[in-house]
């Protein structure tokens, strides 16, 4: 069971979500990836609100942001 979750980082797309999820799983960091996609509305919420976000207990927020920024920097430079 996970402690109370809060939104930590907004994600731009499913690739970011998959990469971040894999890294968080590897470090055994409790989290949930939340997509704003709703097939009934053909993705209109993703257009309005972005792809989605990651939720986790507050005590993991700094580490999750660190991992995310490392992923973005490595992807941009390489």
Question: Are the C-beta atoms of residues 49 and 12 closer than 8 Å to each other?
Answer: no
pLDDT recorded at residue 36: 79
Report the alpha-carbon distance of residue 60 to residue 72 in Å, rounded.
18
Give one word for 27, left, alpha or beta, with left for phi > 0 and alpha for psi -120 to 50: alpha
Q: What is the pLDDT of residues 35-76, one digit of tens each?
A: 876 666 565 655 566 789 999 999 999 999 999 999 988 876
Global pTM? 0.80
Q: What is the pLDDT of residues 5-19, one digit of tens each?
A: 999 999 999 999 999
Q: Which CATH class is domain 5-73?
A: alpha beta
């Amino acid at each position: 069971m996970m402690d109370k979750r809060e939104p930590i980082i907004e994600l731009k797309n499913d690739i970011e979500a998959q990469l971040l999820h894999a890294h968080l799983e590897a470090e055994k960091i409790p989290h949930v990836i939340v997509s704003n996609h709703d097939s009934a509305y053909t993705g209109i919420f993703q257009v309005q609100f972005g792809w989605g976000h990651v939720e986790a207990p507050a005590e993991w927020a700094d580490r999750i942001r660190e991992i995310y920024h490392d992923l973005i920097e490595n992807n941009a430079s390489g």
